Structure 1
Amino acid sequence: MVKRLLLVGAACFPLVGCFGEYSEAISYGESQIKEALKDPDSAKFSDVWFSPDANNGKPRTSGYVCGKVNAKNAIGGYAGDSAFVIYVGQTDSGFVSSSAVISQDSEGPNMAIITSSCKK
């Protein structure tokens, strides 16, 4: 039993390490997306990832936090998954971001921005 747990833990460690590299940027991006919602506390995130830009690592983290968010609308019901993107850049004093782009429409102008910014 212990050997199985160690094997599972060892297999998961590299995945945590990869996600951990951008975890601060992702957390900051999610917090900024929440601020753009009518009910920030209801936000449920899924399929979230970080898409580095050309300046990433020179010398700090920069790129796009991308994913889906489902949150309550003005009448209190969940609206369904909406794709989002937000630019996040690291500075000496923390992170800064652009305005959030959120889209429920799979073909609208906001979706074009999301698609062009979010590269896996």
Structure 2
Amino acid sequence: MLIKGMIVKKLLLVGIACLPLTGCFGEYSEAINYGESQIKQSLKDPDSAKFNDVWFSPDANNGKPKISGYVCGRVNAKNAFGGYVGEAPFFIYVGQLDSDFFSGAPGIIQSDDEKSMKRFEQFCKR
């Protein structure tokens, strides 16, 4: 009985410790979902999109509209021939006023595009 009580206490403490982490992701989860949907729309085969390592990077205006920043990550999708092209970094500006989201142009970076990669590094801070 004593061991069972200790296990329950440990699980409870771990759960409480994780709450701040889920709160941060939850705050931007709608913005991330909206950004992913905008990236999908720019692809040849939107339904094939596989996202990896996606995060929201608030910019200096965050909080002035309700949310302001960049959804960043990596995406892999099929090309016109039906084959996956490999993961590529992406970023897209996402803002929210009231309950409406809006976005800038999506940026999916090709491996030899140094200019876009510099923009990715500039906008996509963790």
Using structure 1 for the length normalisation, give the TM-score: 0.88
Q: Which has the larger radius of gyration?
A: 2
Look up the equivalent residue of 1:101 and give its one-letter code.
Answer: G
How large is the RMSD of aligned CA atoms in angstroms? Answer: 1.8
Which of structure 1's runs of 4+ aligned residues deviate more than 4 A?
Answer: none
Deviation at 1:93, TM superposition (A): 4.6
| Residues 73 and 91 in structure 2, CA contact (< 8 A), matched pair in contact too | yes
| Residues 63 and 87 in structure 1, CA contact (< 8 A), matched pair in contact too | yes
Count of residue pairs the alignment pairs up: 120
What CA distance in whole angstroms lies between the structure 2 residues aligned with 1:59 and 1:103? Answer: 27
CA deviations over 1:57-99 (Å, ceiling 9, x no partner): 1241101111100111111111111100100011235100001
* Structure with more helix by fraction: 2
| Aligned: 1:76 with 2:75 | no
Percentage of matched positions with identical amino acids:
66
- Which residue is equivalent to 1:56? 62
Deviation at 1:14, TM superposition (A): 2.3
Unaligned 5+ runs, structure 2: none
Q: Rate the CA distance shift 1:38–1:59 in 2: closer, same or farther, 3 A.
A: closer
Using structure 2 for the length normalisation, give the TM-score: 0.85
